[in-house]
Chains A and B, each alone.
Chain A
Amino acid sequence: MTDVAHQHGPRRIVSEVQVLRRRRRERIFVIFGLASTLIGLLVLLALLGNLVIDGVARLDWNFLTNFPSRRAAQAGILSAWVGSLLVILVTACIGAPLGVGAGIYLEEYSARNWLTNIIEVNVANLAAVPSIVYGLLALGLFVYGFGTGRSIFTAGLTLALLILPIVIVATREAIRSVPQTIREAALAIGATKGQVTKDHVLPAALPGVLTGVIIGLSRALGETAPLITIGALTFIAFLPAPPITSEFPFVSFEWLFDGFTVLPIQAFNWISRPGRDFHANAAAAGLVLLIMTLALNSIAIVLRYRLRKRLQW
C-alpha cells in the first residue's frame, strides 16, 4: 500500500470517435434484435397468408361436409374433423385427469424422497421425447400388445400420454402459486388434507390448470407423426359409429374402436400428392387446423394473462 502518488500516470482519455462507433454498433444491434424477435411473427403471418391464398377458395360448406375423394374438387374434410374432435375428446378424458392428478400428488402429497425425484426427472425427460417415439410405443404396445387396433381409442390414449408432461408441469405451477396461507387457514379449522386440496387449492389453481390442459390439447390437435406411426388410415370415407343410438342403452362406445383420420393427417396426405389441386385442399385443411390450434392457444394465453393480473394475493 505504498508509493501510490507517483504511480498515477497520465489520465487515459476515452476517444470520442470510438464512442460514436460503439454507439452506432449498438443501434444496429437493436435493429437486428427487433428483427430477430419479430421474424417469428412475420413467418406466422406469411404462413397464414400463404394458406389463405392457396386454400381459401376451397373453403366452403361442401369442403366441411364431404368425405375425401379421388377428385380434388369434391374432396372434403368431414371424416377428418370429426376424427380430430373424437380423438381430442378421448385425449382430454384420459390426459387431463391423469396429468392433473400427478401434478397434485407431486405438489401436495409427495415427500421429498428418491421416488419423487425419479418422478420429477422422469417428467422432465418425457417432455423432451420426440413425438414419433410415442407413436412407436403405441404401435408396439397398444396396437399389437393390447390389441386396441388402429382406432380412435389408441390415438386418443397415445396423445394423452404425449401431453401428460405439459399438463403435469402446468398443474404444478398453478398449484405452487396458491399461497400457503390458504392451506393453513383451512387446515386450522380442521379440514383434512384431501378437503383442503379439493375445496381450496384446486379451485384457486383452476385457471392455471385449465391453461395447461388447453395448451396440451392444442398440441395434440396438431400432432401428426405419432398417429401416422400407429397406422392411421388416410383415406377414410366413413364416419365412426354414432355415440348415441336409438336402442337401449342409447349410448354406444363402438366409435372408440373405429378407424379414423384426423385433420393433420388428411392435410399431410394431400400435400404428399403431386398437383396443385390437392395442394389447395391441403392448404384449406391446414388453414382450418391452424385456426383451431391458434384459437385454443389464444384462449389459453388470454386465460393466463388475466389470471396473472388477478393474482395479487
Chain B
Amino acid sequence: MASRLTATQRRWQRRRERIMEGVLFLCAASSVFVTIAIVVVLVWESAAFFAHVPIATFLTDTMWTPLFADPRYGILPLLCGTMLSTAVALCVAGPLGLTAAIYLSEFASAPVRESTKPVLELLSGVPTVVYGFFALLVVTPFLQTFVPNLPGFNILSAGIVIGIMIIPYVASLSEDAMRAVPNALRDGSLALGATRLETAFKVVLPSAISGVAAAFALGISRAVGETMVVAIAAGQQPNLTFDPREPAATITAYIVQVALGDLPHGGIGYQSIFAAGLTLLLMTLSFNVFAFWLRARFREAY
C-alpha cells in the first residue's frame, strides 16, 4: 500500500482523464451536429428547389403535382391535408387526453395512477405502421357503417387514430402540469365547499393552463409529423379540401410516396421532398418553440 503513483503514471492518468472528457464532449456535441446537418441538408436541397419554383408559387398555388407531365408546385393541398388530419386528431386527443389527465391527477387513487402509467407507456411503444393498419382495416370499415359514402381512404379515420396515438402523450404531460399545482390551492377550494370536480376545472386547470397548453402544442407537433398512419389510411392524392371524409395527402405522406418510387437524384421531384420536409420541420418547430415558451411561463408562476 505504500507504493504511490509515479510522476509518469500521474501524467498518464491526467492525459487519460482529458481524453475521456474530450470523447464525452464529442458525444454531446454530436447532437448539435445532427441538428446542423438536418438544417443544412434541408436548406441546401430546398434552395435548389426554390431556384426552379418561386416561393410565392409554392405558397399560393392550389395544386401539387410535381411528378406530372404538367407539374404544379403549390404546397397548400399538402398543408391542408396535414392540418385537417391534425385537427381531427386534436378533436379526439384534446377532450379525451384532458379528461384522462384530470381524472389521473385529481381523482384516481395512487394505485390506479401507478398502474395506468405503464399502460400508457406501452401504448406509445406501438409501431405506427400497426396503427396505420388499424386505421385502414378497422376504423374505416367501422366508420363506413354510419358515415355514408365514406371512401376506403380518408383523412377522418387516419386523424382519429393519430388522435388515439397522442392521447397518452397529451394526458401524461397535462397531468404533470396539473400535479405541479400546489395542494394549498386545492385545499383552499375544497375548504370552501367546492367539489373535487369544481376544484379541478375552476382552480387547478386555470392554474396549470400554460402547462396544459404546452402539452397540447407538443401533441399537435407530433400529429403534424406523423407519417405512416396517413400514408396508409388517408390516401396519397394531394387534395385541397376541408372535408375530412375525403382522401388527401399530407406533407409526410407525400414524402413517403415519392421515396417509394424511384426518383433520380437531383431532379426537381427529388428536391421537392426536401422543400416539403423543410416546411414540415418549420411547422413542428414553431409548435415546439411555442410549447417551450408556455412551459417557461408556467414555471415562473410557481
Q: Once the chains bind, are A26 and B128 in contact (CB under 8 Å)? A: no
Q: Once the chains bind, are A133 and B122 in contact (CB under 8 Å)? A: no
Report the stretch among A3-11, A27-35, A85-93, A245-253 that lies at the interface: A27-35
> How far apart are B294's CB and chain A's nearest CB, in angstroms?
14
Q: Does residue A98 face the partner (Cβ distance < 8 Å to B)?
A: yes
Q: Does residue B154 face the partner (Cβ distance < 8 Å to A)?
A: no
> How far apart are B186's CB and chain A's nearest CB, in angstroms?
15
Q: Once the chains bind, are A164 and B34 in contact (CB under 8 Å)? A: yes
The distance in angstroms between the C-alpha atoms of A123 and B288, with both chains bound, is: 12
Q: How large is the interface on A (under 10, 10 to 19, 20 to 34, 35 or more residues)?
A: 35 or more
Interface string of B117-153 (1 = CB under 8 A from A): 0111111011111111110111000000000000000
Q: Once the chains bind, are B17 and A193 in contact (CB under 8 Å)? A: yes
Q: Which of B31-58 contact A (CB under 8 A)?
A: 31-32, 34-35, 37-38, 41-42, 44-45
Option from A40, A104, A132 in Cβ contact (under 8 Å) with B227: A132
Q: Once the chains bind, are A225 and B228 in contact (CB under 8 Å)? A: yes
With a CB–CB cut-off of 8 A, which chain A residues contact B16?
194
Q: Once the chains bind, are B45 and A140 in contact (CB under 8 Å)? A: yes
> How far apart are B302's CB and chain A's nearest CB, in angstroms?
21
In the complex where A130-B225, A164-B30 touch, is A50 in contact with B137 (Cβ < 8 A)? Answer: yes
In the complex where A137-B38, A224-B129 touch, is A39 in contact with B164 (Cβ < 8 A)? Answer: yes
With a CB–CB cut-off of 8 A, which chain A residues contact B29?
119
In the complex where A26-B195, A101-B23, A126-B31 touch, is A40 in contact with B120 (Cβ < 8 A)? Answer: yes
The distance in angstroms between the C-alpha atoms of A161 and B130, with both chains bound, is: 23
The distance in angstroms between the C-alpha atoms of A125 and B226, with both chains bound, is: 16
Q: Does residue A105 face the partner (Cβ distance < 8 Å to B)?
A: yes
Q: Which of B260-289 contact A (CB under 8 A)?
A: 260, 262, 265, 273-274, 277, 280-281, 284-285, 288
4 closest A-B pairs by beta carbon, nearest first, are A130-B225, A33-B103, A222-B127, A101-B27
A→B interface (CB under 8 Å): 14, 22-23, 25-26, 29-30, 32-34, 36-37, 39-41, 43-44, 46-47, 50-51, 54, 97-102, 104-106, 109-110, 118-119, 122-126, 128-137, 139-141, 144-145, 161, 164-165, 168, 192-194, 215, 218-219, 221-225, 228-231, 234, 264, 267-268, 271-272, 279, 282-283, 286, 289-290, 293-294, 296-298, 301, 305
Q: List 21 A-B contacts (CB under 8 A).
A: A37-B171, A47-B131, A98-B27, A98-B30, A99-B27, A101-B27, A119-B28, A130-B281, A136-B277, A140-B41, A164-B30, A193-B21, A225-B228, A228-B256, A234-B260, A264-B228, A267-B130, A268-B132, A290-B127, A301-B118, A301-B122
